[in-house]
Amino acid sequence: MAIVSKGFHGKRRGNDGRTPPGQYLATDFPVLSAGPTPRVDTDRWEFTVSTEMGEKHRWNWQQMRALPDEKPTVDIHCVTKWSKLDTRWRGVSLDTFLGGIETSATHVMAHGFDGYTTNLPLNELRGGKAWLAFEYDGKPLHPEHGGPARLLVPHLYFWKSAKWVQKLTLMMRDEPGFWERNGYHDYGDPWQEQRYQGD
């Protein structure tokens, strides 16, 4: 199974100050996944935030869609060295989900419906920096790109924007997720080229 979509076009180096070091501009939206694409019906979709004390806050699809949404236009950067500028999304800010939750947590583990995990500092999901995205380019998010909903954390490498997101677990200390256990950087800042442990 190919991990990059057919028709991937790249290798055009960005020179406008918006493309991080070592990245190339992609003209399409490559598909990269750690495994098969799960098909998640919105009738059974649920998003949960679990606190460090074990309290669970849940939203089904209708409850999530009733929340105020935003339409961010952001640049995204993949660890495999492609970047795509001015991508258009629609989603609910993570500030909306986290705003009413009391926590002393410092980190978050994001969990996908496929079992994928990735770790992030909690403050990287706050302050208008991250969304639960359900549309891309004016259309419902395609399953290959993480639909029906995925995390969107555009200021970090795109593996931190977990596809098919199901749950956030708030944690008192950092723990590695799937790719982080396999040698990827714990933080993943594209401007610092933090691709691998030790970068």
- DSSP string spanning 23-65? -EE-SS-----SSPPP---TTT-EEEEE-TTS-EEEEEHHHHH
Task: Evaluate if residue 178 carries a pLDDT over 70.
Answer: yes
pLDDT, one tens digit per residue, over 60-116 is: 999 999 999 999 999 999 999 999 999 999 999 999 999 989 999 999 999 999 999
Residue 96 in domain: yes
Distance, CA of 181 to CA of 68 (rounded, Å): 35
What are 120's two structure tokens? Answer: 């992030």
Which CATH number fits the domain that encloses residue 135? Answer: 3.90.420.10
Mean pLDDT to the nearest integer, 140-169:
97
Domain count, the chain: 1
pLDDT, one tens digit per residue, over 2-29 is: 344 433 444 455 556 889 999 999 988 8
Residue 58 in domain: yes
Residue 30 in domain: no
Residue 139 in domain: yes
Least confident of 4-8, 39-43, 73-77, 123-127: 4-8
Which pTM does this prediction carry?
0.89
Residue 31 in domain: no
Domain that holds residue 50: 44-192
Residue 149 in domain: yes
Residue 100 in domain: yes
Residue 22 in domain: no
